[in-house]
Structure formats: C-alpha cells, structure tokens
Structure 1
Amino acid sequence: MNVPSLPTRIDAELLRPLVRAATSLPQAEVADWRSRTIDDGTVGHIYVLDGTARDSPSDARTTEWSLVLKIQRQWARPGDPECWRREFLMYESGLLDEVADVLAVPKLYRADTHDDETWLWLERVHGVSGADMTVDHYRCAARDLGRMQGSYLAGREIPAYAWLSSRRWASTAVRLWGTPAVHGLWNSSEGRETAGLPRELSRATLRLWERRDALLDSVDATPRTLSHRDYHADNLFMRPDAADGPATIALDWDCAGVGTLAEDIGDMVAEALVYFGHPPEDAEGLADAAIKAYASGLRDAGWAGDIDVVRTAFATILPLQWCMRVARLAQTNDSALLPRYIAVQRYMLGLAEGVRA
C-alpha cells in the first residue's frame, strides 16, 4: 500500500496534550518531532511520530516520546462494512478497557473523526513480535487470550454492538479459498497436474471439502465468545516485563466480533506455521502448548469446561479455515515454500481426520 505523507494539520500545538499524556509530564512542551510511515495497515495508514519534549517551560531537561497515529479511511471489506471504524468504536465504547485487564491493548490518547476517516492516537508499544516469537511467547499469548475469552464462556454477556463482526469466518474461508482451489485439487488427485499439493494430499483435501458442511455445523454448535479474529504474531507484542499486568499486547481490532471457542488460537497457530516461519515439524508441539495454555487461561476466568472440548474445537476450526487456503497457496505461490505447505497441510488434515462430524 502506498502510504501518504503525514497530514499537514498536525503541529506542535496538536501534539502538546498527546505528548503530555504519553510522558505523564503535565507541563511538557514539544521541542522537536519527526514522523515516518508504516505501510502494512490493513484498512488505513499508520504513522509513528517521535521526538523530544522539555519537561516544562522553565525546565531545560528533555524527555523522549513516541506516538502512533492510525488513520482509517472508510473502506468496506467484502461482507464486513463496519471494519474501517470498528477499532475506533471499540475504544469509544469502553469495550477495549474491559479487555485490557487481562489482554493488554495500546493506550488510547485521543480519538477523532474527520469526514470519512477515524484517527486514533495510540501508545507506541514494544516487545517481541512476528517471527521472533518462540513457543513460550505463543504460550503466553494463548493464556492471556483464554483469560479474556473465558469470562464470556463462563456466562458473562457477550457485547451485542451491531458493529461487531458476526461473520462465520470458517464458512467464509472455505468458500473464499476452496472455490478457486478445488479445480486444481481435482486435477492433482487424478495425476493431471503437478503444481500444488501431491496427489495423496490433494485427495485428502478433497475429502475435507466433501465434509465441509458437517464440520461447519459442528463449528456452529461451538460456544461463542468475544474474539479478536486476526490474532497472529504481527498483531501481538510480548512485553519483556509483565509483572504489573498481562504479558500480551494485542493490536489491530478491526476484525473483532463474536467468534467461537478456540477460533483465535487456531488462527494463531496456523499463521505461525504458514507465514511466520515456525518449524512445521513442531506443529504438534506448538499446538499442544497453545491449547493447554489457552485452557488454563479459560479456567482462570471461571470457565469450567473440559480441555477436550478445546482440542475438538481447535481440530475442527483450524483445518476448515486453513486447509483450502494452504491448498490454494501451494498452487499459486513460490515453489520454494511448497515443502512448508505440504508439511503444514499434512498436519492439519490429520487433525480433521480425528474429528467426528
């Protein structure tokens, strides 16, 4: 995405109260500042602003500061027209304040609307993220997620805001990725095409495709909870010192809504294996660590269910949301990644074969 330069309406006067909030210095004055863009925002533009501030008008001492400005323009993700303003509304409604007790989120310093845009002035967060995350980091992320979701599974009322996503992600993923993948899978299964997955995995993936309606019915019967719905390593920062609160900071809530038990940890594990370089041969180890930590977090929040319920939900949802995607990636992406796709697909299909539906 081509990210434009910082809007010209931003100046030291606008920044002053934001810097004072970020530094906890009530008389701070902006001494200098600079900005840069981050070009990976999903539905908007993200800027990092940092600089120094004098501690007060009469004090020569200076303090460094840093802020994030997230500008989201009106944009309708197919089937999800509220996505562009959802994160703004989650902050405005106080819903993210409730979440932050057990799953940290960036502090909000100011929220504005400008015509067809929302502006969020946010804390700049730090920590381990992306491909640097280890199994221990994923374990912490799963536990904190469980602590957030467990209260809803234990009986707390799930928010009923109309702007929360209510899409059936598994159904959407099956249709979005499966429809273009099936033709190539049929050709591969009959030996007429060499691109993509090998014959035996193509046939196994087609068997999953044939079971999709029964498996989707099982997902529909899975308990509901508040879900992030984009819970992966690039949206997580693991704080190095979390003695005063949750270890996990979760960013980018524009997909959030009502999802199912284990939906988010299924995505987290799949993303780690497909996109973030986690060794496919350790798929079972990563999944087991995530499931156990997630179940522990659920119990911390008052959920009294059995861990086998979590395992079954995980083994149902993850293949539905990811097998057709990986099949399609194997048909269209860099062939150097094919061994990874094959190993991950074999693992996920094994999960699905163990599910009765």
Structure 2
Amino acid sequence: MDYTNKNFPILKNTRLLDAALGRNVDKVPVWVMRQAGRYLPEFQEVRAKHDFFNVCRTPELACEVTLQPLRRYDHLDASIIFSDILVIPQALGMIVEMHPGKGPVFPKPLVHPSEIDQLQEDGAVSRLTYVGQAITLTRHKIEGKVPLIGFTGAPFTLMGYMIEGGGSQTMSKTKEWLEKYPKDIHRLLSLLTRVIIDYLVMQVESGAQLLQVFESSADHLTREQFSEISAPYLKDIKSGVEKKLKEKQLEQVPMTVFAKGGGHSLDIQAKMGYETIGLDWTVDPVEARKIVGENITLQGNLDPQDLYKTPDEIRNLTVDMVKKFGKHRYIANLGHGITPQTPLESMTAFTEAVHEAL
C-alpha cells in the first residue's frame, strides 16, 4: 500500500460532518463509541489470532476491524479508526500490556515526578506512524461510504493511566500527585498536550475527517479541578491543532470533546472552541442545550446498558432521546462505549431508530 497516496474517494455520506458544522441534515447521523470492538464476533476472530496492540500496530488489521461494523450495520454514518488512547504512553517509552479480563496494565507506572524526565517526547509521534498508515489505508478501503474519525485520549486521562498503572475506580495515586506535586502535574500535562497536538495533526494529514478527544476520567474531577487541570489543556489542543493545520495549509476538521462525567462543566466546555460536545447518559439533553447554546453540536447519549433491553424498548428509548435533542446540531451516539456482551440486534435497533425518529 502506498501510504503517501492521499487521493481519496469522494465522500458520499456527509451527515456527520454536516451536523458537526451546523449544516442541515436529511437524517440525524449516528455512530457508536467502540463500534469496532469486542461485541462483534468477527472482531473476536481477529483477536483470537493477534495481540490487541499488534492489531493497533498493523495497519491492515486495524483497517479490517474498523470496517467490520460498516459491513454489518447499514445505518452507521461514520467509522472511527481502531486504535487505543494508550498508544501515546507507549510512544513515550512506557510499556503497556493488555491483560485478558483486566484491561491495560503498565508494569512500571510513574511513581515519582522525577520520572517525567525519562519520557521520550522527541520523536514520539514518529513512533505512531502506524496509526496514520491505518487511517490512510482505511480511507481508501472505505471508498467514501462514510467519514473516518481519528481520536486521542486527553492529557488528564492519559496521565491517570500512567500514574495508576492501569484503569482505576478511585484514581487515588493520581489524586495524591494533584496534592503533592501540583507543578509537576502541569509539566506532565503540558508534555502530553504537545504530543497530542502533533499526533492529531498527523491523523488529519493521513486522512482523518473528524477528531475526537476522550477525557474519559472527568468523573474523577470536581468542577473546580476540571477548570484547572483539564479544560486549559483541552482548549490548547483545539487551538494548537487548528494553528498547525493552518501552517501546513491543510483543511480544518471539526473536533469533538467527550468528557465522561463532566456534566458539571458543560459551560466551561462550551468555551473551549470544539464544534461538538459529547454527553454521557447522566446529562439531560434539554438542559445541555440550554447551557451550551445553539451554536455547538451535541453528541450522545443513550446509556450503553439500555442496549440489553428488547429491540422494541431500545427503539422507544432512542426515538425519545432523538426528539429531545432535535435534528439540528446533533449526532446520535451512546453515552459511553458499547459494552462487550451487547446483543448484535441491539445495534440494529438503535441505529435504525435514530434514522427513523425524525
């Protein structure tokens, strides 16, 4: 594959981009976080033969699993490249392993701020070219059917994994750092922000048509902490990507911020410059619209657990959700990633109901 060939097929379905940019749409666009993942038997077949991060690092495999949900579900209006937020810590020189039943594990997490200096910022994005290659390959293979989304973890979320050594229910080690090492916290967040900006720009250069930033650990922050520790860096990412795309004379792409558990800070998020704000299932659509105003697109926010209900119940809940959000500046999604045991027919019911709701 010639990864330098950016003569991509013409995009046939522009609903997602139109909604993100505030244009009129014929139907509400829909996609699902983690839609290329463990709930699909065809994904499980790939994983039975390949390590998780080997799939991420092999463009042909990442492309294959990115395309799998599109083959199965006719109503999806976007694809999201198969990767993981933790490829950035890997590129910085940290070891990350995916353990069955446990998730990502860092054998040597950050224990003291002095270890920040050991992170290999120089050349980090050059060690992530496999993501760009997967994006370029997928843009060609997708043949313009739907747009392709690129993504990253947000600085605070990545920092939490790097300190905790994996996922954490309490984030106790990270919170200890917040108290004991406030200056070092911001030094690490700044480092991550610089790498993230270059990483996202590389994704656009490779063919990503929309970008999403996952602040998956916002539920561990108070409103005051979000304002100090998360929001400034999220804002810097948005403005930094725009600036670098302009310098490279590349077309700007819409960007989405999704702060899970950040419903207490929607007004702060609305001032960060993102075209779209993702909502988890705890946020009321009507209240969210009042807070962010009419000039920002909202994305979300069906509870992933609702997909374990009957197809008729899913359709009713989905139609009710879509009607609350309305057709203008709205992208239908779940309020978090789809879970592994979700019945396949539930995705059918959800995506069909979105397109039929209005």
- Compare CA radii of gyration and give the structure with the larger one: 1
TM-score normalised by length of structure 1: 0.28
Greater fraction of residues in strand: 1
TM-score normalised by length of structure 2: 0.28
